[in-house]
Chains A and B, each alone.
Chain A
Amino acid sequence: MSNAIEREQTAASGETLVDVQELKTYYGGDGFFASPPVKAVDTVDFEIQRGETFGLVGESGCGKSTLGRTLVQLEQATEGSVSFDGTDITELSGPELKQWRRNAQMVFQDPESSLNDRMTVGEIIREPLDAHDWKTKADRRERVTELLSEVGLREEHYFRYPHQFSGGQRQRVGIARALALEPEFVVLDEPVSALDVSVQAKIITLLEDLQAEFDLTYLFIAHDLSVVRHICDRVAVMYLGKIMEIGDTEELYENPQNPYTQALLSAIPRPDPSVTIDRITLPGTPPSPRDPPQGCQFSTRCPAKIRPEAYADTDDEIWHAVEQLREVVRERSRMSLSTTDQLRKRLDRFSRFDDIEETVTDLFGELSVPQSVEDHVRHAVELVKDGEPKAAQTYLREEFGGVCDTTRPGHHQVSAAGRESYCHRHLDEYEDTTTVLANYVDGA
C-alpha cells in the first residue's frame, strides 16, 4: 500500500463508545499442573470515540489480536472492564450477551479461514441474521443481496462457494457478514495483511466508504504501520501486552516519544528520502509473555534503557556486553531441565551449562573489564554453571538493573493533544529519549 495517500479524517464525535479500563486477558494457568498464564493483555486503558478509526499496532504476538478479541467478547477478560455505550460487556452472559453481540462484529485476518467452505456465500452472510431471527426469511434474503452489492459483489454470487472466490472477494464476503446485523463497532483484525498489495488498497477504500455510510466505529489492528497511518485517527502501539504509546496518528508518526515507537517507525521507509532517520535495530526477540520482565516490558531490548547510577560512567561496550550476557542468562532460565539433569544437579555433577564460559569469553574477551563488573559477572556465571540460571538472572538484575528493570513505568502525557507514552524517560530526572537514541544510533 502506498503511504503517499493523504489520510482522510473521519468524523469522530468526541463521544466515547468503548471505554477500556485496567483490562487484563490471560490465557491458561488455571489447571492444576499448568505453567504460569500467558499475559497476552496486561493492564491496558484506552477509549475509542464514536465514529473514529482507532489503530492498534505492534509485532505479532504482542497481544493486539487478543485485545481485539476481548473487545468483541471472543475472549474472556481476566480482570478490568470494557464498557460499551456505558454497559460493562465483560459482565454480560446468556441472552444479554447474545443481544449485545449485534452491536460489535469482527472482520478476520485470513480470508481462507474465516469463511466456512461448505456453505454458500449467501448462507454465510445470512447466518448472523438467522441466528438473531431477524425479520422474515424473505427479508433476510433481500438483506443479503443488498449487502452483496454494498461490498462490491453481485447478486448471483449468492449460490457460489468461497472456494470459487479470490482472496479479496472472500474478504468482501467477510465484511458483508460483519455488517449484516448493522453493528456500531467493528474490529478489523489485520483485514488486509493476507491480501495482494493491489487488492489491499481496494479493501481499505471499501472499509472507509462503509464507515462513512453506516457511521461505523473501527478498531483497526495491524502490523503494517503505513496502512495504519493512512486509515486511523488515533493509534496505540502495543508491546508484550502493554500499550507503549497512544495518541493522534499524525502526531505520533511525526514525533514519536516512546523508545519502542521510535524503533518501530525507524523501520518503515520514509516517503521523503531526504529525511534520513537511521534504522534502530532491536537486539534479540521479545521475551515470553508467560514471564514478562519485572520492570518495563520493553526493558530487555530497549536501546534507551536507563542505567543505574553506579554504572553511569561504565564504557558503552562493556555495558553492552553485560546486557547481552543478561539476555543469554534469561534464555537459559527459560529452558526446562530433564530429569537426568535434575539428578546431576543434586549430585553436583551438572555440566550442561558449562558453555556459558565461552559466551563470556566471546562477550568480554577483548575488553578491559573493570574489577567491579568482573566480580559480578563471575558470580553469575558460577550460578549458571551450577544449574541455577534463575538465580543468576535475579543476581544480575539486582546488580546491574536500573529503574527500567525494577519498576514499571507510568503513562506520561507527552503532547498537548493528550498523547501518552509508557516510559521512565519522560520523568524530569532522566535524559530525553530522542537525544539518547540519536547517540545510540551514532554509536552503533
Chain B
Amino acid sequence: MARSTADTTNESFRHDSSTLTERIAANPEPALRWAGVAAVLLLLELGAFLGGVLTLFHAAVLGVTALLEVSLGAVSSGLGEAAFGFQTDALASISGVRDAAQSIPTLLSRETISNQGHMVGPNGPWTGTFLGLEPAYAWGIRVVLVLVYAFVTAYWLFRGWLVFRNHYRQADWTPTDDIINRLRDHRWGQFGIAVLVVFLTLALFGPALGPTTVQQNIKSPYAEESQIEYFSDDTGSVETVFAGKANFDSKSKGPNQNVGPMTYDDYGRFHPFGTLPNGRDLFTFMMGGARISLIVTGLAIGLASFIAGALGLISAFYGGTTDLAVLTTADGITSVPRLLLLVMLSAVFANHWLGSVLDGGFLLALIFGFTGWPLLWRAVRGPALQVAQEEWVDAAESFGQRPTLIMWKHMFPYVMGYLLVYASMSAGGIVVSLSALSFIGNGLGITAPTPAWGRAVSLGQSYVAGPSWHIALIPGLMIVILVMGLNAFGDGLRDAIDPETKGSDDGDELAAGGGA
C-alpha cells in the first residue's frame, strides 16, 4: 500500500495549472521513448488493426442503423427507407476503406510468412512457402510471431500507463495503483488476462493465423480464386484443384477417412487441428468462430452491463418506487425462458434482414443483452445501494450537483468493479449459450456456413470415440479454456478491488443521560 501521511512534503509537487500536454512538453523524453516503440508496433500491423477496427465499426453502424430503420419504419415507411438508404451508403464506404486498409501489407500476414505452397517433386522441395519451409513450420513461425506480437503490444499498453504514472501524473498515489499492484501479484487473475489476450488475438488476427482463409476454405471453396496447386503422386506433376474438391477428399469421418491434428492431407495442406467431417480445416473454422463468438459475446455483455449499470445506479439513487419498478421489470424478464424467446424471435426475424446482420449474431447479441441485464443488475444493486448511503453523495446533493453527475462521479466508480467482475463471469455463460445454440442448429445460433464453435462440436459429436475425436474435443476444450479465463479474470479483479473488507469500528455514541 502506498499510503503515506499527508505531512511529508512532496518534492514532485508542481503547481498545477498545467495540462497533460504541457507536462509532456516539459519532460518529453519518457513519452517519446514510449511512443516510438508504440509507433513501430502499430506500423507493423497497421493494416490488420485498421481492418479490425473498421470491421467493428462496420458492425456498429449496421446495428445502429438497423435499429433506426426498424423503429423509424414502424412510424413511417418513408423514414425507414431513408434510414436504409443512409445505411447502404455508409456501409459501402466503410467496406471500401476497410478493404483498402486490409491491403496494406503487414509483417505478420499470411502473405509475408506463407504456409500455402506445394512440393515440386515427390519429396520436396516446397515452393511458395516462407523460405521454402515445410508448411507446418511456416505456419508455426507465423502463429508464434503473432502471439508474441500480441503479448508485447498488450504489455506495451500497460507500460504506457506506467510511464504516465511515473512521469506525468500529478497525484503520487491513486486508489487505482493499489488495485493494479494487487493484480500484479495475482497469478490466477493474470492467467485470466493471458487467456483473454490469446482469444482476442485469435479473433483479431484470425485471418492471419489460419493455415488457409475462411473465404477460400469454407465460404466459397469453388470460386475462381479458390484453386490450389499441389503435387500429385498419381500424375507425377503439379496439378490445380478447387479447394472444395480437395476438402471433399480430406474428410474426417472416423476410421475409414481421417485427417487428424498436425497432419497433411493428400493435397499437401497442413491442418493444425485436423479437418471437419466435411473436409474443411478445423483451425481456420475455429479462428472464424472466435471472431464471431467474441464480437457477439462482447456486444451482448456490453449491452447488458450498460443497462444493468445505469439501472443499478438509478434504482439505488432514487430508491423507492423507481427501485420497485426496475425490480418488477427485471423479474418479468427473468421469468421468460430464454430459449423460448430465442426460438420465437429467431422465427420472427427469420426473413428480416436484421436477422442476417453478423450472420444472425447481432440479433443474438441483442437478445442476450436485453435478457441478461437483470442478473448483472441484481449483482450491482447491493453495492450501489451501499454507496448511495455514503455521506459524500449527500454532500454532492447538498451543493446542488446534478443527479446524473452524482451517479457518474460518486457512485459509478464504486460499482464499476463489481460490474466488471460479474460481467466477465457471465460472459462465460454467454459463450457457452452461444455455442449451445449453434450446437442445436435448426435456425438457432449463427447462420451456417459462417463458423461457430458450437457447430463444430455438434458436427464432431458422432465421432468422439474414434480417430476423429479432434472435431468435437478441440472446440470443446477451447470453450472451456475461454470460460475459465473469463472466470479467472473476474476472480482476480474481485480480489484486487476488494482484498478483504476492513472491519469498521464505529464507536458507540455516548448516549448522554441514557442511563444504564
Q: Which residues of A come within 8 Å of B, CB atoms? A: 31, 57, 59-60, 69, 72-74, 97-99, 101-102, 104-106, 108-110, 113-120, 122, 127-128, 131-132, 138, 141, 153, 155-161, 163-166, 169, 174, 177, 180-181, 193, 223-225, 260, 263-268, 280-283, 285
Contact = CB atoms under 8 A, between A and B. Distances in A.
Contact of B409 (A72, A115, A116, A267): A116
Nearest to B412: A118
Given A102-B400, A127-B396, A159-B172, A225 B512 contact: yes
B343 interface: no
- Size bin of chain B's contact surface: 35 or more
Contacts of A263: 513
B395 A108 contact: yes
B448 interface: no
B390 interface: yes
A428 B360 CA distance: 88
B401 A131 contact: yes
Nearest to B399: A128
Contact of B395 (A60, A158, A177): A177
Given A59-B513, A265-B513, 11 more contacts: A59-B514, A60-B509, A98-B400, A108-B394, A128-B401, A138-B17, A165-B6, A177-B395, A223-B512, A264-B512, A282-B513
A195 to B, nearest CB: 11
Nearest to B171: A159
Interface stretch (B8-16, B150-158, B270-278, B371-379): B8-16
A101 B398 contact: yes
A31 to B, nearest CB: 8
Contact of A60 (B16, B397, B511): B511
Contact of A161 (B9, B13, B175, B394): B175
Contacts of A98: 400
Contact of B401 (A99, A127, A265): A127
Given A110-B391, A115-B392, A141 B398 contact: no
B170 interface: yes
Interface in B63-77: none
Contacts of A117: 175
A132 B5 CA distance: 32
19 contacts: A31-B320, A59-B514, A101-B399, A114-B390, A116-B392, A118-B175, A127-B399, A131-B396, A138-B17, A156-B9, A161-B174, A166-B5, A169-B6, A177-B395, A223-B510, A224-B510, A225-B512, A260-B513, A268-B512
A46 B13 CA distance: 49
Contacts of B3: 163-164
Give the dominant DSSP class at B's interface: loop
A281 B511 CA distance: 12
Contact of B398 (A106, A138, A165, A282): A106
A192 to B, nearest CB: 13
Contacts of A102: 399-400
A163 B2 CA distance: 10
A142 to B, nearest CB: 9
A164 B6 contact: yes
B33 interface: no
B351 to A, nearest CB: 46
Nearest to A59: B511
Residue of B15, B175, B512 with most partner-chain A CB within 10 A: B512
B414 interface: yes
Contacts of A264: 512-513
B515 interface: yes
B405 A131 contact: yes
B6 A282 contact: no
B58 interface: no
A223 B399 contact: no
Interface in B446-486: none
Contacts of A157: 6
B410 interface: yes
Contacts of A153: 6
A266 B170 CA distance: 53
A72 B391 CA distance: 14
Top 6 A-B pairs, shortest CB-CB distance: A264-B513, A98-B400, A281-B515, A128-B399, A101-B400, A156-B13
B171 A131 contact: no
Contacts of A69: 394
Interface in B153-190: 170-175
B516 interface: yes
A239 B409 CA distance: 37
Contact of A141 (B5, B16, B172, B509): B16
A130 B13 CA distance: 23
Contacts of A160: 6, 171-173
Contacts of A97: 400
Contact of A164 (B17, B173, B320, B513): B173
B413 interface: yes
A317 to B, nearest CB: 19
B402 interface: yes
B335 interface: no
B4 interface: yes
Contact of B514 (A169, A225, A282): A282
A105 B395 CA distance: 8
Contacts of A113: 390-392
Contacts of B510: 223-224
A141 B17 contact: yes
A102 B414 CA distance: 27
Interface string B354-392: 000000000000000000000000000000000000111
Contacts of A105: 398-399
Contacts of A166: 5-6
Residue of A138, A160, A283 with most partner-chain B CB within 10 A: A160
Contacts of A260: 513
B405 A118 contact: no
A243 B216 CA distance: 86
Contacts of A169: 6
Nearest to B410: A116
Contacts of B512: 57, 59, 223-225, 264, 267-268
Interface in B394-433: 394-402, 405, 409-410, 413-414
Nearest to B178: A163
A216 B151 CA distance: 60
Given A141-B16, A159-B171, A281-B516, A74 B509 contact: no
B406 to A, nearest CB: 10
Nearest to A109: B391
B395 A131 contact: no
A96 to B, nearest CB: 11
A74 B397 contact: yes
Contacts of B392: 113-116
Nearest to A60: B509
A106 to B, nearest CB: 5
Nearest to B15: A155
A126 to B, nearest CB: 11
Nearest to A107: B395
A362 B498 CA distance: 52
A166 B6 CA distance: 8
A238 to B, nearest CB: 12
Given A141-B17, A159-B172, A118 B413 contact: yes
Given A164-B5, A263-B513, A122 B16 contact: yes
Contact of B414 (A73, A109, A118): A118
Residue of A102, A128, A163 with most partner-chain B CB within 10 A: A163
A21 to B, nearest CB: 22
Contacts of B10: 156
